[in-house]
Amino acid sequence: MKYDPHIHHRRSIRLKGYDYSLPGGYFVTICVRHRECLLGEITTDGIRLSEYGLLVDEAWRDLPNHYRHVQLDQFVVMPNHVHGIIFLINDNTVGTGSEPVPTGAIDTTKRHPLSEIVRSFKTFSARRINSVRGVRGVPLWQRNYFEHIIRDERDLNRIRQYIIDNPTRWLYDRNNPFIRKMHRTGDKSSQFP
């Protein structure tokens, strides 16, 4: 099929006109490419992270070291995706007339939008995993990510609970390859009660 920009263009899933560098809470979901279960497995005790999953967890927790205006909240690594809450905060800790000490880290004196933070997380984690795999430049993550702007305390608490409960719902999760296969084939024999 010949390229048609009206059909083949990528649409943004971001809220049109919203400034994603503004202080606030954001719920993000980032999926592994082809929803491949590389990051761990669900057991009766919860999620058991693979070596790659541990590297992803480490890259996530490292974000505030690169972005001073980032605070992390609830987070979970699932077999083929991650869910997390990121708060972008006002950070005016540098005194008047002072400049931050150069550290080689990302410039924290300017506000970085959510997309840049997610892109950095994806890059940091993919490089670490590809290094362990002994490959270079192999995509780990799907293009893009899903986000939800957290509206209020009630919304925040609902999302926190969703993240906490996520491993226990894996059996029914649309990201679970077994469930996806069942839906594609229409197999009713393996449905759950």
Establish if 178 belongs to a structural domain.
Answer: no
Q: What does pTM read for this prediction?
A: 0.78
Establish if 162 belongs to a structural domain.
Answer: yes
Establish if 173 belongs to a structural domain.
Answer: no
Residue 19's pLDDT is: 85
Is the CB of residue 141 less than 8 Å from the CB of residue 124?
no
What order of strands is seen across the sheet that includes strand 24-31?
A: 70-77, 81-88, 24-31, 146-149
User: What's the N-to-C CA distance of the chain in angstroms?
Assistant: 43
Establish if 160 belongs to a structural domain.
Answer: yes
Each of the 193 residues of the chain gets a pLDDT tens digit; together they read 565 555 544 444 556 778 899 999 999 999 999 999 999 999 988 999 999 999 999 999 999 999 999 999 999 999 999 999 999 998 665 444 444 455 555 444 578 999 999 999 999 999 999 999 999 999 999 999 999 999 999 999 999 999 999 999 998 887 888 776 665 665 554 443 3
CATH number at residue 77: 3.30.70.1290
What are the tokens at 171?
A: 């059996």
Establish if 191 belongs to a structural domain.
Answer: no
Which amino acid is it at 101?
V
Q: What angle do CA 111, 10, 145 make, to 5 degrees?
A: 50
Range of the domain at 54: 22-91+109-168
Residue 190's pLDDT is: 44
Domain tally, the chain: 1
Is the CB of residue 159 less than 8 Å from the CB of residue 85?
yes
88: closest CA among 108, 113, 61, 109?
Answer: 113
CA 193 to chain centre: 31
What are the tokens at 183?
A: 């839906």
